[in-house]
Amino acid sequence: MTPLAAHAAIRFGLGARPEAPVPADPSAWLASQVAPLPELPGPGLGDIQAALRAQRRDIRHPGVGDIFRAEAAAWAARMITTRIPFAERWANFWTNHLTVSRRAFQTTAWLGHYQRAAIRPKCFGRFEDLLLAAYRHPAMLGYFDQNNSTGPTSAIGRRGRGLNENLARECLELHTVTTAARYSQQDVASLARILTGWSSGRGEQFSEADGFLFRADTHEPGTKRLLGREFPPGEEGGAEALRFLANHPATYRALAAKLARHFIADAPSRASLGWIEGAFRDSRGDLAAVARAILAEPEARVPLRKLRSGEDYAIAMLRALGLGTEGAPALLAVLTRLNQSLWNAPAPDGWSDAATEWAAPEQLMRRLDWASELAGRAAAGGGTDPETLAQTVLGPLARTETLAAMRRTGSARDAMIVLLASPEAQRR
Amino acid sequence: MKAETLERRSFLLGLGGAMALGGTRLALAQGPAGDKRLVVVLLRGALDGLAAVAPYGDPGFATLRGPHAPPEPGQEGGTRDLGGFFGLHPALARLHDLYVADQALVLHAIAGPWRSRSHFEAQDFLECGATQRLPDGWLNRALAAMPAETPGSARRGLALGIDVPLLLRGPVRVGSFASQARARPDTQVLAALARLHRADRELGPAFAEGLRSRGFSSGVLAGLEPPPPGTSGFVTLAGSAARLLADPRGPRVAALELGGWDTHATQGPRLAGALRVLDEGLEALRAGLGAAWAQTAVLVMTEFGRTARINGTQGTDHGTAGVAFLLGGAVRGGRVLADWPGVGPGRLFENRDLAPTLDLRRVAKGLLADHLGLNEAALARAFPNSRDADPLPGLVA
């Protein structure tokens, strides 16, 4: 394995697997993954509505939990076994950017569907289409309490209900322009008015759609002003506003910075930022073009500069050990131990990419504990040679002092603990 | 008592009395084999046999180890006497009690037939019972020759810990048992990781702080202070093994393992800590087995010994022959069994290690034959290509 191939698997992929080394041309291998993601099977909107209905009748009904567990297991199995790890990382990045967390329990049933149906099909398309797909999904609408946001002078609003600014505020602050755009409280309220009526249907029981539903009777009438622009009333006004925000220069800059922090460094250079921002501008937010620009950025080729999040670390280790889909429960369990349980970010800003977030004493001790268990199982399972494992995990990026320390240990198990808990295994 | 003392002397003088007995092992196999218990304790990392059982009677020893040779029996902090020539490390106090009660046998200058000094290869060979890697272990193949468990009973074989060691892997299904406590890497592994992290600006301080918060100060990692209490799951596991083995419907053969023996640096305190854990674990086995202890043999073995001389960092490097222990109520103990090769000038293997004079496979085969009642064909299956290592008779009563 060349250093570049190892780097491609570690930084852009999810870590190498023993039986699937990175092909001789790592750049071509990565570029080939910039393509629409395959559709995934799973419960549909109707199935989810049925489970929610059952849960409303009986809080102990297992339907919602079953759906979540099946979706989580499918995600975990995919992470461990996928042969298009860059594309999967890309989908995870956008899922995290447009975070919906199950800490808001009403989202639990929708989360798997959200990534499968809203994020994945759009994450190599235009950012505006990705944003719209997310904002039309019941997961997002439920997470930010958008379903009951009512225009004060709409038909329903006149009976005393009102606005909920939650989605509008996070849209501006987190998903699009960020505070760098210096929007005002009036802009927030205005976007909230624009988005009134955007909600999820309650399914056939209420003779409503299973998914997105525009409720004209809660929509605030009239033209609204947002960041100096006017938007017409109606569902189309919301879509126009979101497209406007998605293609705002401040959005391009913010997204470029976030991508650079994920794929290049915690403190990326101005040149890197400018390069990715340029790709956004030149392609009008085509995420495939942006992905290709990142892959071509020379600074993205400096290896092991990023600290792995708990999720990144766990996935990479299980892949290196050659686990198959049977490793899914172990992955989900360790995510919880590493304080990053699946689709469960503490806040709408999602999981951090910064080293300061992950280089914590207890985090590292938990990784060490888990590495020790993994190494024990690998040693007991036989057939895992520590040096071969080092080749899979790091290839030529393994430091000589780490390899030497491995050789000085007293058992294959201890050698693998040293490898899996080594500083370079914490990096990507 | 007199006869026993004489017997001890005859062995320690290298007369090899038991080996000369030969050919009587079938006569020695007695009692219902179904009640016998065999426990194998793997010491991973290579125990220094010369430190665990010091040949203080060999004039070459003091020269060889200098200030690292422990005080002789009777002196302050001295070894515990094993019949006038060998002294047992003071941390093995309870093992010494068993020796005095004729329930512990010490086997010295012992080694398997491999000479590579590679932990990984040697451990695999130690467990698979061959000098090439096999997918299953000799103890599992031995289980295949034993009567299958009766309905309602536990599996005959039991692996203690999170994993099934190669020793017990194979076609016969074995049970496994792990305590709730997660096994922690041993201090040396932590010390190596602490070194690897030290220069890392992002991870170094956090890693060091994490270790400190778990009680591993720099002094502990340097081997200057004992590790924090409760770091070994071994004693707990040994106690659990004993309770399971004591059950009339429980397993009959068990394997457990203990690391921390790879003492390349500051061997003194490290080894003392590890031996203390071993001693406590063996005592937990004895206590937990209760009446079944009388039917039990425990084989404690390691992949190879360590260099006879101390290296430049107050430790020892990978060597050849070392020590093994056999204990239990069924064992003919109170003896040191050794054809002592000497450690004086010109006596070391490759001028570096204690020379091997006893093949570890002979001990294992002797146990399987006389303790578990395996016939010759079954022994040959457990240890393929081992005709040069005939079963050692007279290990058990």
Quick one: B60 and B19 in the same domain? Answer: yes
Find chain B residues with C-beta within 8 A of A333's C-beta.
Answer: none
Quick one: B256 and B189 in the same domain? Answer: no
**A414 reaches B (C-beta below 8 A):** yes
Q: pLDDT band for position B233 (50/70/90)?
A: confident
Any idea what DSSP says for residue A8?
I
Given an 8 Å threshold on Cβ–Cβ distance, is B185 in contact with A359? no
pLDDT at A6 over 60: yes
**A417 reaches B (C-beta below 8 A):** yes
pLDDT at residue B27, as a whole number: 28
Q: pLDDT band for position B3 (50/70/90)?
A: very low
Q: Please give, rounded to a whole number of angstroms, the shortest distance from the CA of A238 to a CA of chain B.
A: 44
Nearest Cβ partner for B166 among A362, A382, A423: A382
Quick one: B192 and B49 in the same domain? Answer: no
The residue whose two tokens read 């050698």 is A415
Cα separation, B125 vs A274, whole angstroms? 59
Q: Could you give the C-alpha distances from A34 to A31, A85, A88, B189, in angstroms and in order?
A: 5, 11, 10, 42
Percent of chain A scoring above 90 in pLDDT: 90
Given an 8 Å threshold on Cβ–Cβ distance, is A361 in contact with B120? no
Find chain B residues with C-beta within 8 A of A423's C-beta.
Answer: 196-197, 200, 203-204, 207
Mean pLDDT rounded to a whole number for chain A: 95
Given an 8 Å threshold on Cβ–Cβ distance, is A361 in contact with B209? yes
Given an 8 Å threshold on Cβ–Cβ distance, is A402 in contact with B196? yes
In a domain, A194, yes or no: no
Cα separation, A263 vs A293, whole angstroms? 11
Number of domains making up chain A? 1
pLDDT at B226 over 60: yes
Q: Please give, rounded to a whole number of angstroms, the shortest distance from the CA of A360 to a CA of chain B.
A: 5
pLDDT at residue B230, as a whole number: 54
Nearest Cβ partner for B120 among A365, A412, A418: A412
Q: pLDDT band for position A1 (50/70/90)?
A: confident
Quick one: B98 and B10 in the same domain? Answer: yes
Quick one: B199 and B240 in the same domain? Answer: no
Residue B324 — φ and ψ, nearest 5°?
A: -135, 155
Quick one: B211 and B117 in the same domain? Answer: no
Q: Give contacts of A 73-92 with B, CB under 8 A.
A: none
Residue of B nearest to A412 (CA): B120
Quick one: B268 and B315 in the same domain? Answer: yes
With 0-12 / 13-18 / 19 or more C-beta atoms within 10 angstroms meaning exposed / middle / buried, residue A240 is middle
pLDDT at residue B228, as a whole number: 66
**Pairs from A379-384 (Cβ < 8 Å, separation ≥ 24):** A379/A411, A379/A412, A379/A413, A379/A416, A379/B163, A380/B162, A380/B163, A380/B164, A380/B165, A380/B166, A380/B169, A381/B163, A382/B135, A382/B166, A382/B169, A384/A321, A384/A322, A384/A412, A384/A416
Number of domains making up chain B? 2
In a domain, B388, yes or no: no
Cα separation, A193 vs A151, whole angstroms? 6
Q: Per-residue pLDDT averaged across A160-164, rounded?
A: 88
pLDDT at A333 over 80: yes
Cα separation, B231 vs B273, whole angstroms? 11
Residue type, B311: N
Q: pLDDT band for position B229 (50/70/90)?
A: low
Q: pLDDT band for position A187 (50/70/90)?
A: very high
- pLDDT tens-digit series, residues B100-122: 999 999 999 999 999 988 888 89
pLDDT at B231 over 80: no
Residue B175 — φ and ψ, nearest 5°?
A: -85, 165
In a domain, A378, yes or no: yes
Quick one: B117 and B141 in the same domain? Answer: yes
Helix (H) or strand (E) holding B353: none
Nearest Cβ partner for B202 among A355, A365, A410: A355
In a domain, B325, yes or no: no
Given an 8 Å threshold on Cβ–Cβ distance, is B163 in contact with A377? yes
A318, A327 in Cβ contact below 8 A? yes
Its domain, for residue B135, covers: 2-184+231-320+333-382
Higher pLDDT, A393 or B34: A393
Given an 8 Å threshold on Cβ–Cβ distance, is B195 in contact with A359? no
Its domain, for residue A389, covers: 310-421
Q: Could you give the C-alpha distances from B88 to A235, A365, B52, B336, in angstroms and in order?
A: 86, 37, 6, 11
pLDDT at B236 over 90: no
- pLDDT tens-digit series, residues A277-317: 999 999 999 999 999 999 999 999 999 999 999 999 999 99
- pLDDT tens-digit series, residues B194-207: 999 998 999 998 99
Please, what sign has the CA dihedral across residues B107, B111, B117, B122?
Answer: negative
Cα separation, B85 vs B13, whole angstroms? 9
In a domain, B219, yes or no: yes
Cα separation, B71 vs B80, whole angstroms? 10
Q: What are the tokens at A392?
A: 């899979």
Q: Please give, rounded to a whole number of angstroms, the shortest distance from the CA of B141 to a CA of chain A.
A: 17
- pLDDT tens-digit series, residues A96-149: 999 999 988 789 999 999 999 999 999 999 999 999 999 999 999 999 989 989
Q: pLDDT band for position A172 (50/70/90)?
A: very high
In a domain, A343, yes or no: yes
In a domain, A17, yes or no: no
Residue of B nearest to A423 (CA): B197
Given an 8 Å threshold on Cβ–Cβ distance, is B182 in contact with A413? no
Q: Please give, rounded to a whole number of angstroms, the shortest distance from the CA of B137 to a CA of chain A.
A: 11
B203, A426 in Cβ contact below 8 A? yes
Find chain A residues with C-beta within 8 A of B188's C-beta.
Answer: 409-410, 414
Question: Which residues have a Cβ under 8 Å from the Cβ of B372 and sit 6 or more positions away?
Answer: B33, B36, B38, B142, B146, B253
Residue of B nearest to A427 (CA): B203
Q: What do you get for the CA distance between the two ends of chain B, in Å?
A: 17
Residue B287 three-state SS: helix
Quick one: B203 and B309 in the same domain? Answer: no
Cα separation, B366 vs B390, whole angstroms? 8
pLDDT at B259 over 90: no
Please, what sign has the CA dihedral across residues A398, A401, A403, A406?
Answer: negative
In a domain, B236, yes or no: yes
In a domain, B389, yes or no: no
Quick one: B311 and B350 in the same domain? Answer: yes
Mean pLDDT rounded to a whole number for chain B: 86
Given an 8 Å threshold on Cβ–Cβ distance, is B200 in contact with A368? no
Q: pLDDT band for position A188 (50/70/90)?
A: very high
Please tell me the least confidently modeled range out of A272-286, B35-49, B173-187: B173-187
Please give the radius of gyration of chain B, using alpha carbons only, rounded to the nearest integer. 20
- pLDDT tens-digit series, residues A10-60: 999 999 999 998 999 999 999 999 999 999 999 999 999 999 999 999 999
**A385 reaches B (C-beta below 8 A):** yes
- For residue B195, the Cα-to-chain-centroid distance in whole angstroms is 29
Q: pLDDT band for position B91 (50/70/90)?
A: very high
- For residue A156, the Cα-to-chain-centroid distance in whole angstroms is 36
Q: Please give, rounded to a whole number of angstroms, the shortest distance from the CA of B235 to a CA of chain A.
A: 18
B384, B136 in Cβ contact below 8 A? no
- For B40-75, b/e burial (b = at least 16 CB within 10 A) is bbbbbbbbbbbbbbbbbbbebbbebbeebbbeebee
Pairs across A and B, CB distance < 8 A: 119
Q: Could you give the C-alpha distances from A87 to A84, A308, A394, B51, B323, in angstroms and in order?
A: 6, 18, 21, 57, 56
Given an 8 Å threshold on Cβ–Cβ distance, is A380 in contact with B196? no
ipTM beyond cut 0.85 = yes
Residue type, B369: A
Residue of A nearest to B161 (CA): A376
- pLDDT tens-digit series, residues B9-42: 334 333 333 333 332 222 222 334 468 999 999 9
Q: pLDDT band for position B2 (50/70/90)?
A: very low
**A405 reaches B (C-beta below 8 A):** yes
